[in-house]
Structure 1
Amino acid sequence: TQVFKTSWAECYDEEARTLVMQGVNPINFRGLKLSLSSDDSKAINFDSEPKVILSASGMCEAGRIRHHLKHNLWRPESTVLFVGYQSPGTLGRALVEGAKEVKLFGETIEVRCKVQVLAGVSGHADNEGLMNWVKNFESKPRTVFVTHGEDEVCDIFANRLRSELGLAAAAPYNGAEYDLLTGSCLVVGNTQRIAKEEGGGKKRENPVFRRLLDAGHRLLNIIKAKEGHTNKELARFASQVEALCDKWQD
Structure 2
Amino acid sequence: MDSGGTDIIWNQFILGAALTRAARRVLERDGEEGEEIRFSYADTHAGGGGLPVPALLPVARKALASSAWAAAVGAGDVHPGSWVLAGRLIAALGGLAFEADVNDLDPAAITAAKASREGGWVRFWSHDWFLFLRNRLAMEPRPHFVFIDPPPDDPRGPGYAMDAAILLDTLGLPYMVTYAVDTPGAQPQEAIDQIGRSGLELRGAGLERGVLLGGGAETVVLDILSDLRNLAEVLGGELSVRLPRAPADDYCI
Verify same fold: TM over 0.5.
no
Larger relative CO (CA 8 A, sep 6+): 1 or 2?
Answer: 2
> Which has the higher Rg, Structure 1 or Structure 2?
1
